């Protein structure tokens, strides 16, 4: 049986839900999401959404900060569009019921409490205390739940895009649907629609240490790459400078907003060090702060640095950062009285599936928005809190574009999934071993500081692992663990290939063999496209 819809949305974070709500006025929408519907990077976002709201702020200033952080590689027209359309999309979120924190502090003007983060030259971060993503996700999911045209399929895992090229049909490559592992029943179903929206988020789990939850395995980039779409700039993996360092804490972020409110970084010996690296000190752009911490840790052999906000009034810290305060307390750290041990960790994928600002990819019928997409907004390094902004603006624009000229359903027979002679895997230890190996390899060889030799070594090892994984893939019944393994291997391949293509250091791609930026590469993106 083929499940036919007007719109297939893969992913239920801010990008997928925002698009689904706009598309649902025109047709039936299926949201396919691989875990519980709220489980997404969006749900863990802390700092907030950047937008020009304050009266002392301006579009020109937000554009300039984004371009500066992006280290010369942003597409300027895209930056302008996203920044200028931000306030209208924020108003829509408010109308949907998102409750952003309001100014209560002494001396602050009435209105929203605008936060500050690294690389911003004005207070422009709307936030809901330190759990902004949870609040946005709550409001969007509530709106989706009450929409009669939207059906959410939880624990449904998108395996691969169905394209006319894969079906052996001549002519323009077109996406006509998706194969989906229907976890609840353990079989693979076929979903078809004239519009397939990739909103599957990022790929933090490709690295051993990450701020991302388990869903972030780069499935969208891997699927699009296999389908023949262009992917770009994947060498620019953003490492967040301050992930909690604690043996029992899995991926807990300490928001940049803590530094925005005065928190300072200290080395293991307790000395401030950021003035050696940038005039903005602890609030410098993220690539610079993460690299500075990496240098300090390597120099001293320490396993972490400290983030110190003990000089601020305890009541302020507890009220502004209740989630961070409570979580650290659970691990025995009272952040009002002692500094927080922190380390950098993989956080955000600046590259992705190439799209324009309306979410269109180079495959007809396939769109991408949110972290999975590479619109050109972030360039070589994303400005803090610009990703939730990009997701809402681009989801809106994609909906407008598609609804203005809805693509017709292709007259194609979409075949059912073929499972060959697959049998149940009896050596799942191989899957978990390969998972660990890839993540460690990426951390050690394709991390904050790279060299050509390390990249080449990683490339060889990933190619071997991919052969093994492929054998598994053909021989055994697919499981979500195996599918994710195949995807992180593909994304690792793509990150390494992009990093090897770029003969310079720029933004987040720092290579000791070329420690400087090369002006000839200032506007060049590293684009990959699979042709077979």
Q: Which residues bind ligand FAD (CB under 6 A)?
A: 10-16, 32-35, 39-42, 44-49, 132-133, 157-158, 199-202, 211-212, 215, 219, 253, 348, 370-372, 385-388, 391
Beta carbons of 222 and 462 less than 8 angstroms apart: no
In this structure, what are the phi and psi dihedrals at residue 160, rounded to the nearest 5 degrees? -155, 150
CB of 73 to ligand SIN, least distance (A): 18
User: Which listed option, ligand SIN, ligand FAD, none, makes contact with residue 435 (CB within 5 to 8 Å by class)?
Assistant: none
- One of 30, 78, 290, 384 touching ligand SIN (CB under 6 A): 384
Tokens standing for 514? 């070329």
- 361 contributes a contact to ligand SIN by CB under 6 A: no
Give 477: exposed, middle or buried? Use CB within 10 Å, 0-12, 13-18, 19+.
Answer: middle
x/- site string to ligand SIN, residues 20 to 59, per CB under 6 A? --------------------------xx------------
- 256 contributes a contact to ligand SIN by CB under 6 A: yes
CA distances from 441 to 350, 465, 532 (A): 20, 11, 27
Stretch (H or E) spanning 126: strand 125-126
User: Which listed option, ligand FAD, ligand SIN, none, makes contact with residue 10 (CB within 5 to 8 Å by class)?
Assistant: ligand FAD
Q: Where are the alpha helices (H) located in 177-232, listed in sequence order?
A: 219-227
User: Which listed option, ligand FAD, ligand SIN, none, makes contact with residue 260 (CB within 5 to 8 Å by class)?
Assistant: none
Taking residue 249's Cβ as centre, other Cβ atoms within 10 Å add up to 15
Catalytic residue among 75, 80, 259, 286: 286
Beta-bridge partners for 231:
353, 528
User: Which listed option, ligand SIN, ligand FAD, none, makes contact with residue 224 (CB within 5 to 8 Å by class)?
Assistant: none
In this structure, what are the phi and psi dihedrals at residue 348, rounded to the nearest 5 degrees? -150, 140
Judged by beta carbon, residue 45 or residue 363, the one nearer ligand FAD is 45
Give residue 179's Cα distance to chain centre: 23
- 255 contributes a contact to ligand SIN by CB under 6 A: yes
User: Which listed option, ligand FAD, ligand SIN, none, makes contact with residue 359 (CB within 5 to 8 Å by class)?
Assistant: none
Strands 49-50 and 125-126, by their bridges, are: antiparallel
Tokens standing for 101? 């924190």
CB of 495 to ligand FAD, least distance (A): 17
Give residue 478's Cα distance to chain centre: 25
CB of 386 to ligand SIN, least distance (A): 7
* Whether 286 is catalytic: yes
CB of 384 to ligand SIN, least distance (A): 4
Residues recognised as catalytic? 286
């Amino acid at each position: 049986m083929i499940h036919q819809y007007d719109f297939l949305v893969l992913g239920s974070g801010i990008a997928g839900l925002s698009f689904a709500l706009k598309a649902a006025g025109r047709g039936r929408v299926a949201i396919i999401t691989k875990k519980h519907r709220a489980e997404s990077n969006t749900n863990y976002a802390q700092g907030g959404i950047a937008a020009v709201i304050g009266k002392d702020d301006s579009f020109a200033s937000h554009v300039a900060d984004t371009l500066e952080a992006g280290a010369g590689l942003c597409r300027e027209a895209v930056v302008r569009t996203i920044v200028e359309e931000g306030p209208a999309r924020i108003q829509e979120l408010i109308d949907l019921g998102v409750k952003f924190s309001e100014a209560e502090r002494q001396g602050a003007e009435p209105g929203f409490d605008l936060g500050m983060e690294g690389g911003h030259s004005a207070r422009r971060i709307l936030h809901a205390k330190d759990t902004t993503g949870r609040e946005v996700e709550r409001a969007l999911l509530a709106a989706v739940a009450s929409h009669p045209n939207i059906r959410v399929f939880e624990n449904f895992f998108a395996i691969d895009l169905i394209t006319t090229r894969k079906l052996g049909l001549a002519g323009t490559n077109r996406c006509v649907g998706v194969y989906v592992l229907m976890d609840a029943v353990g079989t693979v179903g076929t979903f078809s629609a004239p519009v397939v929206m990739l909103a599957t988020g990022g790929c933090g789990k490709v690295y051993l240490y990450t701020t991302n939850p388990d869903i972030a395995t780069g499935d969208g980039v891997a699927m699009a790459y296999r389908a023949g779409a262009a992917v770009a700039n994947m060498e620019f993996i953003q490492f967040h400078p301050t992930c909690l360092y604690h043996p029992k804490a899995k991926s807990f972020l300490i928001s940049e907003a803590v530094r925005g409110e005065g928190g300072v970084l200290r080395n293991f010996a307790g000395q401030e060090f950021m003035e050696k690296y940038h005039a903005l000190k602890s609030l410098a752009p993220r690539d610079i702060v993460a690299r500075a911490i990496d240098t300090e840790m390597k120099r001293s052999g320490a396993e972490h640095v400290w983030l110190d906000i003990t000089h601020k009034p305890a009541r302020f810290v507890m009220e502004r950062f209740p989630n961070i305060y409570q979580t650290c307390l659970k691990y025995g750290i009272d952040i009002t009285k002692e500094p927080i041990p922190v380390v950098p960790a993989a956080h955000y994928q600046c590259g992705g599936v190439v799209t324009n600002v309306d979410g269109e990819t180079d495959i007809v019928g396939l769109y991408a928005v949110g972290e999975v997409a590479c619109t050109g907004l972030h360039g070589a390094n994303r400005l803090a809190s610009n990703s939730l902004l990009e997701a809402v603006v681009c989801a809106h624009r994609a909906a407008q574009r598609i609804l203005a000229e809805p693509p017709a359903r292709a007259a194609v027979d979409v075949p059912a999934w073929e499972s060959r002679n697959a049998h149940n895997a009896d050596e799942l230890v191989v899957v978990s071993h390969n998972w660990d190996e890839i993540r460690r390899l990426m951390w050690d060889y394709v991390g904050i500081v790279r060299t050509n030799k390390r990249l080449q070594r990683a490339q060889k090892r990933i190619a071997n692992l991919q052969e093994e994984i492929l054998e598994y893939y053909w021989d055994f019944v697919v499981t979500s663990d195996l599918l994710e393994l195949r995807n992180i291997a593909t994304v690792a391949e793509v990150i390494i290939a992009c990093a090897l293509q770029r003969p310079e250091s720029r933004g987040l791609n720092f290579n000791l063999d070329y420690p400087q930026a090369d002006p000839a590469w200032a506007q060049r993106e590293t684009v990959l496209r699979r042709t077979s």
